[in-house]
Amino acid sequence: MLRFLARFVLAAMFGSTVPLAASAQVRLVEATPAAQASAVTSITLRFSETIAPESASAAVVMTGMPGMSDHPDMKMAQVKARVGDDRRSILLTSPRPLPAGDYRVDWSATGADGQRVSGRHVFKVG
């Protein structure tokens, strides 16, 4: 009886943290290229959990070019994004290698908890 009671008390104390941990929001766990690269034609964003394909999006924005001090954000329209077959990643592909410069990937995805999360990944080509 005492053991049962102890278990009950523990469940009451910590039970609420279990659903919270299970529904932790989706996060980016890995991205390639990581920081600096050359001849980039593909970018991969890998997430901590399965994402809903219909809600996932990602776009590549060029934020800087060598020798240009005031580069405006320039969306790389030729880069196409799709959710990976594992449904835990977003793959971006460019028909041509990205020119030398600074890039930012803006992504947005919804995990199992239904919460939409967005973030950024930056890298340099050159």
Contact set with Cu ion (CB under 5 A): 62, 65, 74
Taking the CA of residue 15 as centre, how many other CA atoms within 13 Å lie in the half-sphere pointing to its CB?
8
| Smallest distance, Cu ion to C-beta of residue 71, A | 6
What tokens appear for 101 in the block?
């410069």
- Of 74, 75, 92, which is closest to residue 83 (Cα–Cα)? 92
The C-alpha torsion from 45 through 46 and 50 to 55, rounded to 10°, is: -10
Instruction: Return the DSSP state at 112.
Output: T
Nearer to Cu ion, 65 or 125 (CB): 65
Q: What's the min distance (Å) between Cβ of 32 and Cu ion?
A: 21
State which residue, 43 or 51, has the beta carbon closest to Cu ion.
43
Report the nearest approach of Cu ion to the CB of residue 64 (Å): 8
Coil, strand, or helix at residue 38?
coil
Between CA 56 and CA 51 the distance in angstroms is 7
CB of 46 to Cu ion, least distance (A): 27
